[in-house]
Amino acid sequence: MAVSFDLTGKTAIVTGANTGLGQAISVALAQAGADVALVGRSSMADTEAAVGAAGGRSLSIQADLSTLEPVDRIISETVAWTGRADILVNNAGIIRRADAIDFTEADWDAVMDVNLKTVFFLSQAFARRLIGEGKGGKIVNIASLLSFQGGIRIPSYTASKSGLAGLTRLLACEWAAKGINVNAIAPGYFSTNNTEALRNDPDRNSAILGRIPAGHWGQPEELGGAAVFLASPAADYIHGIVLPVDGGWLAR
Ligand code: NAP
């Protein structure tokens, strides 16, 4: 049997799809044949156009992921569109920067809510539907190098992404036998809104660049292949991994 990365006939849900890594993942999934539900709080116009240009179909779902309000609606609106939901990419995430000694409760809660709490309950809603139908599926969480490392000045972000790695493994253990693959991607340093402050700081920028064996900041398109792989039949026996896509950062 030929190895298949084909997602034709599948429906994917991507959170935070309006920009950055979520946009690139949405386009890559569409190029592999999936219909893509674009979830977020901002206009999806750019991503809709990019998915269309790639020959794909998309549905935009308005959702503020800082609360659990949209969780069930995201699944039901997706299923009302194509009749199915096969792939969930938990990509939306935020970061707040301050020294640990000064870090506020508000910055702690805001990050944990979007990066961890909503991810868990959206994954639960997605899995309940799949298990109820007796079908398998794929969950791909967007973790971070801060799932492996400590970092500085981002305590809630590191806690959330380290927690997400653990959650990925727990859900994989509970749902693997039900045909649901739960895995994560740990992006290295990619050029998006999330890292704008780092790239604008000449010292941090050159320190980071100097440590990346590939010698350049990741471009969002460089993440798409890993998402397609983990969402595809080629990854059917892969459960609970956190796959770095980091230009060699962790190998250094
Ligand atoms: P980004 O451009 O800031 O994208 C973050 C996405 O999350 C945006 O679509 C954003 O929507 C969405 N989002 C945030 N809060 C939301 C909320 N309450 N409701 C709905 N959507 C919300 O940064 P990115 O780099 O593409 O980040 C994508 C993921 O990759 C994040 O989980 C991030 O932690 C992770 N990551 C990024 C890097 C990197 O180097 N860039 C490295 C490791 C991990 P708005 O545009 O409306 O805010």
Pocket of ligand 1, candidates 61, 94, 145: which has the most ligand atoms within 8 Å of its Cβ, to mutate?
A: 94
Domain containing residue 148: CATH number: 3.40.50.720
d(C-alpha 249, C-alpha 252), whole Å: 5
Number of structural domains in the chain? 1
Residue-wise pLDDT for 137-176, tens only, equals 999 999 999 999 999 999 999 999 999 999 999 999 999 9
Find out whether the beta carbon of 194 lies less than 6 Å from any atom of ligand 1: yes
Q: Is residue 168 situated within a structural domain? A: yes
pLDDT at residue 45, rounded to an integer: 98
Note the Cα 114 to chain centre separation in Å: 12
Find out whether the beta carbon of 39 lies less than 6 Å from any atom of ligand 1: no
pLDDT at residue 13, rounded to an integer: 99
Point out the residues that are catalytic: 157
Q: Which atom of ligand 1 is nearest to the CA of 217?
A: 40
Residue 21 is given by DSSP the state H
Structure tokens at 216: 């350049």
Q: Is residue 250 situated within a structural domain? A: no
pLDDT at residue 3, rounded to an integer: 83
DSSP per residue, 105-139: HHHHHHHHIIIIIHHHHHHHHHHHHHHHHT--EEE
User: How far does residue 75's CA lie from ligand 1's centre (Å)?
Assistant: 20
Q: Is residue 251 situated within a structural domain? A: no
Count the neighbouring beta carbons within 10 Å of the beta carbon of residue 18.
Answer: 21
pTM of the model: 0.98
Structure tokens at 49: 């156009």
Q: Which residues, given as ranges, of the chain have pLDDT below 50?
A: none
Find out whether the beta carbon of 20 lies less than 6 Å from any atom of ligand 1: yes
129-165: b or e for each residue (b if 16 or more CB lie within 10 Å)?
bbeeeeeebbbbbbbbbbbbeebeebbbbbbbbbbbb
pLDDT at residue 193, rounded to an integer: 92
Domain housing 49: 2-243
Q: How far is CA 97 from CA 107, 110, 202, in A?
A: 9, 12, 17
Q: Is residue 186 situated within a structural domain? A: yes
